[in-house]
Chains A and B, each alone.
Chain A
Amino acid sequence: MMTAPTPLLEMQALVIGYKLGRAERKRVAGPLNLALQAGELVCLLGPNGAGKSTLMRTLAGLQPPLSGQVQIEQIDTQHISAAELARKLSIVLTDRVEAGNLTVQELVTLGRYPHTGWLGNLTAHDQAIVREALAATNTAQFATRRVATLSDGERQKVMLARALAQDTPVVLLDEPTAHLDLPNRVQLMRLLHQLARQTQKAILLSTHELDLALQAADRVWLLHDEGQLHAGVPEDLVLSGTFEVAFAREGLVFDQATGTFTIHKPGTRLVRLDGSGPLAFWTRRALQREGFMLTDDEAPLRVELREQNSASQWVSHVAGQIQSHHSIADLLTYLRTVPDLGQAQL
């Protein structure tokens, strides 16, 4: 942001957690001092149990903070009525909705709750907003279906439509991508990014989709197991290694070059790969899975990639033996029969 803008949502020394008894408290995270600006999409990342949902619920006023405060448009949320807060902040929870015989249309219309009168009758303006919410989330085509007949992914989109119909400057989403397939996840992230830009909403979503978050988020809030939170532009967090620390686990390696976590331990057998492009990328993946470690130096095994007449060829060089293969499967099958590829000199 160019000038110092006033944040839509701000935490001041916020400590989140649970009150277990009269005096006993379980602190989950904090003190946190963070802000959400208008027009930005922030992804809240963190391992399971780090307190992402607790933070979401505390920000939404569904659970009191242990100390500190949440300010929305510079007013402490503890001091405004539930209805007023609901006009400023909407949330999509992970709670399962058990109202199967509501239609999608009726459920999304409930989002207008804080804007309508005592009976909840809709004005033309309300109806237009509901239509927009249905259209934006691609749920208009099943508006007349009952919630009970929806798949989990469809339900999730409908709950997002309901939050959009609430039409608030701040939108919180707790794992909105959990039940969606990849195209739908991408579509959702694109939609949220677009919404933040076009309508100047502040959107905070928690997710486990690291690669999507890294691509779409304007900023990332990284919640660690110990309750600290790192905020920053995703690329900065990757380069500074903060990202890796947050998810550090045995056998999990973060590849800074690709921005992904690899599930295979680095192999012990050395291989040198000559080639480039997608062919090299996928060959490297296959070799890593087989337990090879790639090197640029001389190695007992060398794989050379050739492309002739739009057909790919893998040529292996092992102990003077040269073999040509027509697929990665061929290559791997052959390599498994070679006994003396040796261990890396450790």
Chain B
Amino acid sequence: MDTLTAEPTAAREHRVARRRRWLLACLVGLVGLAFLLDIALGSVRIPLPAVVDVLLGKSSGTVAWDFIVTKIRVPKAITAVLVGCGLAVSGLQMQTLFRNPLAGPSVLGITAGAGLGVALVMLSAGSAASLYAIQQLGLSGSWLIVLAATLGAALVMLLVLAISARVRDNVVMLIVGVMIGNITLSVVSIWQYFSAPEQIQEYLLWTFGSLGSVAGPHLAVLAGVVLAGLGLAFASSKPLNALLLGENYARSMGLTVGRARLIIIASTSLLAGSITAFCGPIGFIGIAVPHLTRALLNTADHRLLIPGACLVGAALTLLCDCLAQLPGSSTALPINIITALVGAPVVIWVTLRRTFVRSSFS
């Protein structure tokens, strides 16, 4: 131990800081690369130089490529970045607030709330006419679905915030959140039980998640809400650092715990609620990315972890989307399948190799 600590603190700190800067730069590069790759891959394969040309405002020479890149692939890639950032940061906040490595964006029941909204719209469309109308609107792109999901998420969020304002203890808050999620899910199950198989299938498709259905005004709204949520999260990085020592210490160092918790929950609700509303319940990113980021950056400081989680989350979501395109085939798998299939082994590997997941919570 002595030889390890012999190096002067200042020199070591300097070296660690340099390594972190280098890592962050690498991550930025990785996100850029994954972004380009995500645009290039798909049922129509577009060469990377052509992608770069279109992104720089020039024409690739093929009208179809120009159209595919600007109207479909770029919005989808931007959505992937927003989803990755938003879910990763909301998961990080929940894990720190509740001091629980298994917490994620869905732990407060907000995702389930969005699902309830969607289920209500899809399954209450009992008459063939309204079901037809919804399908005509285009299921995934429809404002109706987004509106329903947003309302569902917002309703649960208001409930959670109201309870959070009364509850003094974070452990109680965690249990209440999980219970609200379960109640919401069982309400959805009741609806499913009394619905026709075709209706259930529609709902199931929504739960697979999709990045490709957000464009134009949808994308603008999603981007606005996610950026607001990220802003709130970054503003909470100092309180989040204090909460690492537990609520009592945080309070003794001058943190108004109730207010900080309200801001953190509001940020998580905005992020998880809006993303679920637009893209469906995308799992795994929110739980996995915070652990990956802590292990990569080797720190517990949220001033670094929040930007870091954004980068890792964006890169992971983009790469998952690339894989979902099944290179070499024209079919695309739902994003939700890939995130867990790819992400889980990565997390298992990191967890086994490093002790950070354990030591950050013990």
A-side interface residues toward B, CB under 8 Å?
57, 60-62, 81-87, 89-91, 93, 95, 97-102, 105-107, 110-111, 113-114, 116, 118-120, 140-146, 148, 166
Contact = CB atoms under 8 A, between A and B. Distances in A.
A82 B245 contact: no
Interface size classification for chain B:
35 or more
A62 B254 contact: no
A114 B361 contact: no
A113 B299 CA distance: 18
A143 B253 CA distance: 21
Nearest to B251: A62
A76 B227 CA distance: 41
Nearest to A113: B253
Given A101-B359, A119-B238, A148-B362, A113 B254 contact: yes
B186 interface: no
Nearest to A120: B238
B191 to A, nearest CB: 38
B303 interface: yes
Contact of A82 (B254, B301, B356, B361): B254
Interface in B291-314: 294, 298-301, 303
29 contacts: A60-B252, A62-B251, A81-B256, A82-B254, A83-B254, A86-B252, A86-B254, A87-B254, A89-B252, A90-B253, A91-B252, A93-B248, A93-B252, A98-B99, A101-B299, A101-B300, A101-B359, A102-B244, A105-B9, A105-B13, A107-B245, A110-B241, A114-B253, A114-B254, A118-B235, A140-B9, A143-B9, A144-B12, A145-B5
A44 to B, nearest CB: 17
B141 interface: no
Contacts of B244: 99, 102, 110
Interface of B: 5, 7, 9, 12-13, 99, 235, 237-238, 241-242, 244-246, 248-249, 251-256, 294, 298-301, 303, 355-356, 358-362
A166 B303 contact: no
B248 A166 contact: no
Contacts of B242: 110, 113
B232 to A, nearest CB: 13
Contacts of B238: 113, 116, 118-120
B246 A85 contact: no
B300 to A, nearest CB: 5
A100 B5 contact: no
B253 A111 contact: yes
Contacts of B99: 98
Given A93-B248, A118-B235, A82 B255 contact: yes
A100 B246 CA distance: 12
A85 B254 contact: yes
Contact of B249 (A97, A114, A145): A97
Given A102-B300, A148-B359, A97 B245 contact: yes
Contacts of B248: 57, 62, 93, 95
Which of B237, B303, B360 is the most central at the interface, judged by chain A CB atoms within 10 Å of its CB?
A: B360
B253 A86 contact: yes
B166 to A, nearest CB: 14
Nearest to B9: A143
A102 B254 CA distance: 20
A82 B245 CA distance: 16
Contacts of A95: 246, 248-249
B362 A110 contact: no
A275 B148 CA distance: 93
Nearest to A86: B254
A338 B253 CA distance: 65
Given A90-B253, A106-B301, A111-B253, 19 more contacts: A57-B248, A62-B252, A83-B254, A84-B254, A85-B254, A89-B252, A99-B244, A101-B359, A101-B360, A102-B244, A110-B241, A110-B242, A110-B244, A110-B245, A110-B253, A119-B303, A120-B241, A144-B12, A166-B253
